Amino acid sequence: MIDERIYEMFREIGRDLYGQNMISSHGGNLSIRLGDKVIIKRRGAMLGALKPHDLIETRIDKNDSGVALASTELLVHRTIYKQTPALAVCHCHPRTAIAFSLSRDEIVPIDNEASYLLKKIPIVTEEFASGTPQMANKVASALQNYKIIMLRGHGSFSIGQTLDDAYFWSSTLEEACQIMLAAKLINEPFIEYRKMSEAYNKF
């Protein structure tokens, strides 16, 4: 039985991800780690309208019956939990960030908040960009050094101590990309206001 408080946490963040156009109707997934177990969204459930039975509890280190119900991205969530100290994972499809991921190898924000919080978001490329061990390992490996990364053409994976935390990095990334896009449209010379910003791409 999953605690009602945990369900509420998933429900609120899933609803907000959908409301902010960070996922499609059935896209994205969320999970939290409970010791050697993971609670993750049910496969095919709508993150924007989660019901209590849409949360699945399963093991991190081996399969049990929960795997039959869990999100197709269970493998990458499990791998992240094995390879990083994360207690929560947020995977979503931030549209502007995905667009930027198609033409560069990293995203270096220019706005103040994302510069503070993220510095740099690496972009990982994988031929089969969903649910494979290769993709899971690449994503988890990148998350050993960054709290959010982009999978080229697919979406973001972020980690945190709490779901709030992981969600925050995702929404910060998308906000940063929207600002970068707007700045490109304005097309005026950029005035650097951040000291030592040249080091961001080495972060």
Partner 1 sequence: MTGWNEKILDIDLTSGSIKTYPLDMNMARLFVGGRGLGGRLLWDLVGPGVDPLSPDNVLIFTNGPLTGTAYQTSNRFSVSTKSPLSGTILDANSGGFWGMQLKRTGYAALIVRGRSEKPVYIEIKGEQASIQNAAETWGLRVSEVTNKLGQDKNRRNVLCIGPAGEKLSRIAAIMNDGQRALGRGGSGAVMGSKNLKAIVVEGNQKTEISDPERYKFMVYETRKLLAASPLTSQALPEFGTAVMMNLVNNVGALATRNHQHNMFEGAEAISGETLSETYLVKNDACWACPIHCTRISKTGKTGEVEGPEFQTAWAFGAQCGIADLEAIIEANYLCNDLGFDTISAGSTVACAMELSEKGLVDSDLRFGRADLLSSTLEDMAYRRGLGVDMAEGSWRLAKQYGAPELSMSVKGLEMPAYDPRGMQGQGLLLATSNRGACHMRGNMLGLEVLGLPKLIDRFQIQGKSSYVILNQNSNAAIDSLVLCKFTSMGVADEYFARTLSAVTGIQYATGDMIKMGERVWNLERLYNLRAGFTSKDDTLPSRLLNEPAPDGPTKGWVVHLEPMLKEYYRARGWDANGVPTPQKLAELELKEL
Q: Does 62 bind partner 1 (CB under 8 A)?
A: no
Q: Does 55 bind partner 1 (CB under 8 A)?
A: no
| Binding test (CB under 8 A) with partner 1, winner from 20, 24, 83, 178 | 83
Min separation Cβ 62 and partner 1, Å:
13
**What are the CA-CA distances from residue 75 to residues 78, 178, 187 (Å)?**
5, 30, 42
- Determine how β-strand 88-92 pairs with β-strand 29-34: antiparallel
- Select 97 or 118, whichever has its Cβ closest to partner 1: 118
- Give the 3-state secondary structure of 1-16: CCCHHHHHHHHHHHHH
Q: Does 116 bind partner 1 (CB under 8 A)?
A: yes
Question: What is the distance between the alpha carbons of residues 195 and 177, in angstroms, rounded to a whole number?
Answer: 21
Classify residue 122 by its DSSP letter.
E
- Select 41 or 147, whichever has its Cβ closest to partner 1: 147
- Select 71 or 84, whichever has its Cβ closest to partner 1: 84
Report how far Cα 159 is from the mean position of its chain's Cα atoms: 7
Question: Count of residues binding partner 1 (CB under 8 A)?
Answer: 30
Min separation Cβ 36 and partner 1, Å:
6
CB 104 within 8 A of CB 184: no
Number of neighbouring beta carbons within 10 Å of residue 97 = 26
Q: Does 87 bind partner 1 (CB under 8 A)?
A: yes
Q: Does 110 bind partner 1 (CB under 8 A)?
A: no
Written as one letter, the residue type at 54 is D
Q: Does 105 bind partner 1 (CB under 8 A)?
A: no
Q: Does 171 bind partner 1 (CB under 8 A)?
A: no
Q: Does 84 bind partner 1 (CB under 8 A)?
A: yes
- Determine how β-strand 121-124 pairs with β-strand 148-151: parallel
| Binding test (CB under 8 A) with partner 1, winner from 161, 182, 183, 201 | 161
Min separation Cβ 144 and partner 1, Å:
4
Query: Which residues, including other chains, have CB under 8 Å from residue 85's CB and lie 6 or more apart?
Result: none
Q: Does 136 bind partner 1 (CB under 8 A)?
A: no
Question: What is the distance between the alpha carbons of residues 76 and 40, in angstroms, rounded to a whole number?
Answer: 12
Which spans of this chain sit near partner 1 (rule: CB under 8 A)?
2-3, 5-6, 32-36, 39, 83-85, 87, 116, 119, 144-145, 147, 160-162, 164-165, 168, 195-196, 199, 202-203
